[in-house]
């Protein structure tokens, strides 16, 4: 058992801490994110906005996301709410790292958690994230772009055209292209993510090496980390949580716009347009009018053509008469 604990891989250690830390901090961060959105203090761009909300789950992105947006000149969105969310996330992540870290040290590593564990793990992880994540972002973007263009060229190859007779149908072509570049991009992303997680694992292992071993048996350790999560005054805790819930709910309804919100200038979405409404009678009348107009135009054109031809005929006849007269004059000297 002790050997098993010693041989825990950095990936397992990293995942064992990062995953619960994300889920411990996320609900609290989301409450603030919703309030900030309701107040109109933050407007997000489409894809980057989604990426941001997803990365909000992670404590290692607090410095990495600003670095990525500045370094790669990407526009995340606008509003004071965005830096505010980053600031709010810091104490939440430190607290989440503390709760999860102490549990992990006792249950999985059987070590006494040192004082200030949350803060230590947070700053080290945030720093590692700030250095590693921009590199990951850049590598995955480059690999994905290359994979997309390569898969497109592969599918357009002449030899494949012969295999499929008239060429690949659209649905099959999209699926094959997507499967090709998606696999490459996913493999690179997963490999880099595992490296990143193992980096955090090394950091946690390094912190654990300096810690004292926990001597109690398993049952006592479970009881210890279990009791760590129970507040000293449960009544006070329940009252505080209920009070905070009521205040936040009231605040939410107070700041919620009564009518539909209009997107900020920076982040306008493309207008969705459909065909104008189909009105059968109007369309029929319009078509009939058009047919009548075109028939009249056709008749006029035919008349003009006939007139032009008759003019030509007249001209030809006149010329012929002239020629005939001239030749008869020559014959009669």
Partner 1 sequence: MEQSSIPGAQSTATEKVIAFLDDRVGLKQMQAKMLNEPVPGGSRWAYVFGSVLLFLFLMQALTGILLMFYYVPTADHAYASTQYIIHEVDYGWFLLGYHFWGSSAMAVCVIAHMSQVFLWGAYKKPRELLWIVGLALFGIVIGFGFTGYLLPWDQRAYWATTVGVEILDKTPVLGDFMARFLKGGPTPGQMTLSRFFVIHVMILPAALMGLAGLHLFLFRVAGPAGPFRGTSDEIKAKTDYFFPRQIWKDIVGMAAVFATICALAFWEPVVLLEEATPDPGDYHPEPEWYFLFYFQLLRLKIFSGEFGQLLGAVALPVAFMVLLVALPFIDKDPERNIFKRPIALVSWIVVMVTMLLFTVAAVINREFLD
Give the binding site for partner 1 (CB under 8 A).
Answer: 20, 23, 26-27, 30-31, 33-34, 37-38, 44, 49, 53, 169-172, 174-175, 178-179, 182, 218-219, 222, 226, 229, 252, 256-261, 269, 272, 274-278
Q: How far is the CB of 300 from partner 1 (least distance, A)?
A: 33
Comparison of 44 and 104: residue with beta carbon closer to partner 1: 44
Q: How far is the CB of 5 from partner 1 (least distance, A)?
A: 13
Q: How far is the CB of 40 from partner 1 (least distance, A)?
A: 9
Q: How far is the CB of 34 from partner 1 (least distance, A)?
A: 5
Comparison of 170 and 330: residue with beta carbon closer to partner 1: 170
Comparison of 279 and 312: residue with beta carbon closer to partner 1: 279
Q: How far is the CB of 223 from partner 1 (least distance, A)?
A: 9
Bridge partners for 213 per DSSP: 111
Q: 215: which 2 tokens?
A: 């001597």
**40 phi and psi angles, rounded to 5 deg:** 75, 25
Q: How many Å apart are CA 302 and CA 304, to the nearest integer?
A: 5
Comparison of 274 and 329: residue with beta carbon closer to partner 1: 274
C-alpha dist (Å) from residue 313 to 204, 300, 303: 104, 20, 15
Look-up of token digits 């894809």? 47
Whether the CA torsion 40, 45, 46, 50 is positive or negative: it is negative
Neighbours of 88 (CB within 10 A): 17
Q: Which helix (H) or strand (E) holds 244?
A: helix 234-255
Report angle CA 8, 213, 211 to the nearest 5 degrees. 85
- Three-state DSSP state, 127: helix
156 half-sphere exposure, CB direction, 13 A CA radius: 6
Comparison of 30 and 306: residue with beta carbon closer to partner 1: 30
Q: How far is the CB of 66 from partner 1 (least distance, A)?
A: 21
Comparison of 49 and 114: residue with beta carbon closer to partner 1: 49
Q: How many Å apart are CA 267 and CA 155, to the nearest integer?
A: 35
Q: How far is the CB of 26 from partner 1 (least distance, A)?
A: 6
Comparison of 215 and 327: residue with beta carbon closer to partner 1: 215
Query: Which residues, 6+ apart, have CB-to-CB distance to 225 below 8 Å?
Result: 102, 103, 106, 107
Comparison of 278 and 333: residue with beta carbon closer to partner 1: 278
Q: What is the DSSP letter of 232?
A: S
Q: Residue 225 class from Cβ within 10 Å (0-12 exposed, 13-18 middle, 19+ buried)? A: middle
- Three-state DSSP state, 268: coil
Q: How far is the CB of 28 from partner 1 (least distance, A)?
A: 9
């Amino acid at each position: 058992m002790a050997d098993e604990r010693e041989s825990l891989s950095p990936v397992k250690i990293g995942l064992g801490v990062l995953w619960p830390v994300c889920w411990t901090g996320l609900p609290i961060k989301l409450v603030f994110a919703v309030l900030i959105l309701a107040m109109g203090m933050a407007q997000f761009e489409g894809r980057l906005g989604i990426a941001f909300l997803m990365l909000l789950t992670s404590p290692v992105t607090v410095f990495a996301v600003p670095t990525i947006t500045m370094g790669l000149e990407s526009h995340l969105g606008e509003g004071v709410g965005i830096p505010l969310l980053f600031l709010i996330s810091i104490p939440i992540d430190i607290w989440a790292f503390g709760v999860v870290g102490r549990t992990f040290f006792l249950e999985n590593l059987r070590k006494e958690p040192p004082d200030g564990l949350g803060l230590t793990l947070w700053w080290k992880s945030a720093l590692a994230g700030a250095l590693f994540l921009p590199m990951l972002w850049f590598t995955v973007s480059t690999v994905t772009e290359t994979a997309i263009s390569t898969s497109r060229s592969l599918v357009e190859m002449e030899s494949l055209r012969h295999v499929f007779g008239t060429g690949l149908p659209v649905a099959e072509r999209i699926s094959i292209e997507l499967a090709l570049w998606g696999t490459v991009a996913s493999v690179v992303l997963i490999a880099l993510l595992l490296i990143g997680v193992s980096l955090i694992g090394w950091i946690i292992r390094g912190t654990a090496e300096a810690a004292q071993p926990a001597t109690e048996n398993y049952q006592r350790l479970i009881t210890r980390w279990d009791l760590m999560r129970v507040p000293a005054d449960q009544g006070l805790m329940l009252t505080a949580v209920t009070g905070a819930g009521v205040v936040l709910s009231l605040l939410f309804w107070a700041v919620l716009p009564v009518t539909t919100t209009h997107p900020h200038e920076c982040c306008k979405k493309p207008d969705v347009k459909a065909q104008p409404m189909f009105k059968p009678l109007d369309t029929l009348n319009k078509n009939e009018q058009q047919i009548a107009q075109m028939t009249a135009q056709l008749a006029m054109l035919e008349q003009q053509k006939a007139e032009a031809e008759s003019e030509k005929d007249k001209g030809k006849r006149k010329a012929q008469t002239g020629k005939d007269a001239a030749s008869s004059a020559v014959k009669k000297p």
